[in-house]
Amino acid sequence: MKIAYQGEPGAFSEAASWQVNPAAELVPCKAFEDVFTAVDNGAVDYGVLPIENSIGGSIHRNFDLLLQHQLPIVGETEVPVVHHLLALPGQSLGDIRRVYSHPQALAQCERFLRSLSDVEVIASYDTAGSAKMIADQQMTNAAAIASARAGEVNGLVALRSAIQDNDTNTTRFLVIGRQPLSEAPADKTTVVFTLANEPGALFKALAAIALRGISLTKLESRPNPGRKWEYLFYVDLAAAREDIACARALAHLGEFAPMLRVLGSYPSSKPASQATASQPNRG
């Protein structure tokens, strides 16, 4: 099995991919779009994509890409996020004048970063990529916020560990692919729909779900490209698409939603512990 993920080795997406299948061959990609392309053209079997963080919120770009591509969601997994301040060996915290990381990681460590003085905080495309940049360029007086695994891969040391603001910091990842990921029964369904701009339209849509006793676990709105001030609604339902109640809710919703698409029906994730999220030593 081949799994594509966005980022460099040591990224949290790599950890998520190992949780999906510890024996898989992992293929790092530069951008989220590249993950979709790799699955689309058959270069890999599955793609792993972050969709939301318990502190930073949704990764909007991946909602948009799910709509643009015809690749169903076949699974999900959760990874506890533990951030470390990584630098070249021999550096001390007092030496650091620049800190690099992905904007989400910087936001998740805001309290720690505020405690530093005379330090410039610089956003980059990836947590593990920031660690790699510091190692490749031998950047003194600089540090990256990334995982312990990113430090191991790039020969960096942790000046401070577990610097995230919240100990429950967790990222949920979706798995996309053309084949089922496992034989586990589906118990979650993700859909996207549009609504007419009229009074009570969203209430009516949510009532179609609620009145059938289905728990709505996430609701996300995104701008509808090309239709100014109109929106797409992404919804996670705690039910399999084939469940009678869910099937009837979707049929009801389809009667008045101008567009309705099921993005996937799949087994929901079980929250991972720190131990299950630890990355194996792959040399």
CA distance 240 to 242: 5
- pLDDT value at position 270? 65
**In this prediction, what percent of the chain has a pLDDT beyond 70?**
95
pTM here is 0.89
CB 111 within 8 A of CB 165: yes
Q: Among 12, 63, 173, 193, which one carries the catalytic annotation?
A: 173
Q: Which residue blocks in 74-147 are alpha helix, DSSP H?
A: 103-108, 110-114, 127-136
Q: Among 171, 189, 190, 194, which one carries the catalytic annotation?
A: 171
List the 188-194 sheet strands across, edge first.
216-223, 231-237, 188-194, 260-266
Angle subtended at Cα 157 by Cα 155 and Cα 160, rounded to the nearest 5 degrees: 155
DSSP 135: H
The mean pLDDT of 172-183, rounded to a whole number, is 95
Of the candidates 19, 18, 101, the one whose C-alpha atom is nearest the C-alpha of residue 56 is: 101
Residue 63 annotated among the catalytic residues of the structure: no
Q: What pLDDT, in 10s, does the model give residues 224-261?
A: 988 899 999 999 999 999 999 999 999 999 999 999 99
Of the candidates 68, 78, 75, the one whose C-alpha atom is nearest the C-alpha of residue 1 is: 75
The pLDDT mean for the chain works out to 93
243 Cβ neighbours under 8 A, 6+ residues apart = none
Structural domains for the chain: 2-81+169-177 (3.40.190.10), 84-161 (3.40.190.10), 188-266 (3.30.70.260)
Q: What pLDDT, in 10s, does the model give residues 122-163?
A: 999 889 999 999 999 999 999 999 999 999 999 999 999 999
Residue 194 annotated among the catalytic residues of the structure: no
CA distance 64 to 71: 12
**Burial bucket for residue 8 (CB in 10 Å: 0-12, 13-18, 19+):** buried
CA distance 218 to 193: 14
